[in-house]
Structure 1
Amino acid sequence: MSHLDTATAILSDLIGYPTVSSDSNLAIIDDLAGRLSDAGARVDVFHDDSGTKANLYATMGPDAPGGILLAGHTDVVPITDQIWASNPFAMTERDGRLYGRGTCDMKGFIATAVALAPLFASKATRRPIHFAFTYDEETGCLGAKALAEQLAARSDRPALAIIGEPTEMRVIEGHKGCCEYSTHFTGREGHGSLPYLGVNAVEYAVRYITRLMELNDELKARAPGGSAFDPPHSTINVGSLHGGVAHNVIPGFATVEWDMRPVQSADFHHINATMQDYAANILLPRMRAVWPDADIVTEVIGETIGLEVMAENAARDLVLELTGTNGTDVVSFGTEAGIFQQLGMAAIVCGPGSIEQAHKPDEYVETSQLAACITMLEELADRLG
């Protein structure tokens, strides 16, 4: 059986696990752990606090630092309110395309990596190869963040990371972060005719939004030189403002939903520090001067760290050689790559399928894309000995 046939069969099995982020991924992790263990890998499974989710980390080759990591997430987005031509959790093939939830995002890459495991086991005599399959990437990269804490304490931490998100096998060396927040304002309700006796939560939410927009304008001047992103600087977006109950009632509660897309970690810290200072030292004292129980609390919905473009990137250079391509790109969607980069690894994103097919009904990956990924991984195997 060819590597493509093996990968296709594995992918069919993986699609059969409905690993929507809200549900457990233990069954697919158990499956993958068994396949890698049978191929000769040393396998660790790390459960979350609930016991219903787990990360898998496996290694082949020498017990030494400096290896290469193949990383992917096992969770998928829901199919709620989507109309599919076939069962989304039973892979079907039509006209050279493999349909099913997660085929491109991103079980296709996981299937190819596991299909090549026996080859890696025979080739990895000088340099180790690692596998990291995580939970809850779609809801804030929660699994990768937990895994990073585990890897930080290990002496055999990889030097290079390839994250197999769907890029049509293009080499992606950078992407913005995606950080989402809900900031909740607690004021004091009262009659609209006596505004000085209440604390208008909506009013203070608007002041908060105004500062966000001022900061958004200031970020334009912080764009890194030569930034390839569109736009080249970090951005802030206010998605919604909820608050109040009636025309003549001072609103006691309000919520601002907003996000930022940092192009560099310095902007991430600058935005958070600026808004925390503004809330704590400008808005709250004014609110509490009227009502001591007034409050502002920012809830973190998800923080996906960006992948920063680096002048020196051994992972980029390696994958350019493996794929035979001459150029790199940046993308707007987020991945787990920045988390591995923060651990000191050189990281890139390269995998089969198109992001345009992700999260949609009738999601698919072309078999030609899987074949191209297999070719890359076969070339990689030859570099391990």
Structure 2
Amino acid sequence: MTQDSRPSPRALGLAQALVRMDTVSANSNLALIHFVRDELAKLGVKSRLTFNAERTKANLFATLGEGKPAGVILSGHTDTVPWDGQDWSADPLSGEVHDGRLYGRGSADMKGFIAIAVAQAEAFLASDAPFAVHLAFSYEEEIGCFGVRELIADMREAGVKPLACIVGEPTSMVPAIAHKGVYRYKCCVRGKEAHSSLTPQSVNAIEMAARLVGKVRDMAEGFERDEPRYEGFDVPFSTASVGQFHGGIADNVVPRDAEFRYEFRDLPTADARAMQAQVEAHARTLEPAMKKVAPDAGFRFETICEIPSFLGSAQDPVTRLAQRLSGEQRTTLVAFGTEAGLFKNAGIPTVVCGPGSIVQAHQPDEYVSLEQLARCEAFMRGLAATRELG
């Protein structure tokens, strides 16, 4: 392996250090955030931290090039998915390097990108570029992009108005200009229990829930049958699916309670909230018959997460910049959700481009190749040498 196909020792060392930190979404990410804060502090860079309500997790926002009129955000999330029940051949927190790969949970998704960005901080500070570089590292992306909403709000409060945003999710360093949204909901159904020999005196929560599940399935079939295609996506139409269903306590008790969780993955040209409104409207048509038997029977909905779809453009200056820095003439669309839609909705031109492949993310023996990390490092060096966007 040539030197050009490996990241610098400092970048690789930082990536290993970050992978070795357990930042599963259910846990605190403060060890990682404080580590990055301290690395930047060595260079005289101050970091702004925004915390969750319990102050167990934080976002980090830092500007490299204070005083410059505007900047480019390098965005990454610090949390990872868990590995319970997965068949790993080594410790998921080992950060091992062998066969040209860095292994460990989060190596591809997306601690490799964060490490490369931090490793280039000194170069960004020394850059003659007419724009600053902002590092924006968030919490709880994997469970709903919750942290970045606080980060964006804090950025606005501070009067920061970036020129553009590069979200470093794993795209194999091919700039991605669109992804679907991810909207997840929980439906709680309240019926009325009875002995199963007396069903007319009951409202069967499972059966009523099943009617609504059928509605979600009908909608999914309608998207596949009727929705205009958006070519370039693996599945070129919106989807709907039920992921969990719970209810009942015994075979001979008509169930009083049931709940299920479902999601919509909407094309950038579709409207997931309108989809959810259809589900709720159908539920309201079922409630009168339920309430005749039990006035307190009915449906209740909870929002689990709403991650907006993302639609950029191949003509956006930030996309052309990412193409030039990555050496890629093409762009791509990705199936997975990211924070890009939230940055775009905040009025910031955005592209998704980072090292590694989503195929490795969330998998046993997750890895990012050293070649991909080296390409990302070359990208960052190019950004530090950039004199204008686009």
Distance 2:308 2:198 in 1: 45
The residue aligned with 2:121 is 117
For residues 256 and 265 of structure 1, do their structure 2 counterparts lie closer, same or farther at Cα, with a shift above 3 Å needed?
farther
User: 2:366: which partner in 1?
Assistant: 363
57, 61, 64: which is aligned to 2:61?
57
Structure 2 counterpart of 1:87: 91
Q: Is the 8 A contact 1:63 1:156 kept in 2?
A: no
Moved more, 232-241 or 62-71: 62-71
Alignment match, 1:293:
296
Partner AA of 1:56 in structure 2 = L
Q: Write the deviation string for residues 90-116 of structure 1: whole angstroms up to 9, x where unpaired.
A: 322212212222211111101100111
Structure 2 CA distance for aligned equivalents of residues 230 and 82 of structure 1:
25
Contact 1:183 1:256 in 2 (8 A): yes
Tell me the alpha carbon deviations over residues 229-276 of structure 1, each in whole angstroms, 9 at most, x when there is no partner: 233221111234332344443221112221110112742121122222
Shift of 1:125: 4.9
Contact 1:70 1:162 in 2 (8 A): yes
Match of 1:136 among 136, 140, 148: 140
Q: Are the equivalent residues in 2 in contact too, given 1:25–1:135 (CA < 8 A)?
A: yes
TM-score, with structure 1 as normaliser: 0.92
Contact 1:3 1:116 in 2 (8 A): no
2:310 paired with 1:307: yes
Distance 2:25 2:280 in 1: 30
What percent of counterpart residues are identical?
Answer: 39
Cα distance in 2 between the residues matched to 1:199 and 1:164: 50
Match of 1:36 in 2: 40
Shift of 1:14: 1.4
- The offset of 1:65, in angstroms, is 5.6
**Aligned partners of 2:41 and 2:129: how far apart in 1?**
17
- Give the direction of change, closer, same or farther, for the CA distance of 1:307–1:65 in structure 2 (3 Å limit): farther
Name the aligned partner's letter for residue 169 of structure 2. Answer: E
Q: Does 1:4 align with 2:12?
A: no
C-alpha distance 272-265 of structure 1, shift in aligned 2 (>3 A): farther
Q: What residue identity is the alignment partner of 1:76?
A: T
Query: Is 1:168 aligned to 2:168, yes or no?
Result: no
- Return the alpha-carbon distance in structure 1 between the equivalents of residues 271 and 370 of structure 2: 40
RMSD in angstroms over aligned alpha carbons? 2.3
Deviates most, 284-293 or 44-53 = 284-293
Q: TM-score, normalised by structure 2?
A: 0.91
Deviation at 1:182, TM superposition (A): 2.2
Show CA shifts across 1:157-176 (max 9, x none): 21211111111111111111
- Distance 1:239-1:48 versus aligned 2 partners, 3 A rule: closer
How many aligned residue pairs are there?
A: 384
| Contact 1:62 1:126 (C-alpha < 8 Å) held by counterparts | no
Q: Distance in 1 between matches of 2:267 and 2:175?
A: 18
Counterpart amino acid of residue 323 in structure 1 = S
Counterpart check, 1:382 vs 2:385: yes
| Contact 2:179-2:268 within 8 A present in 1 as well | no
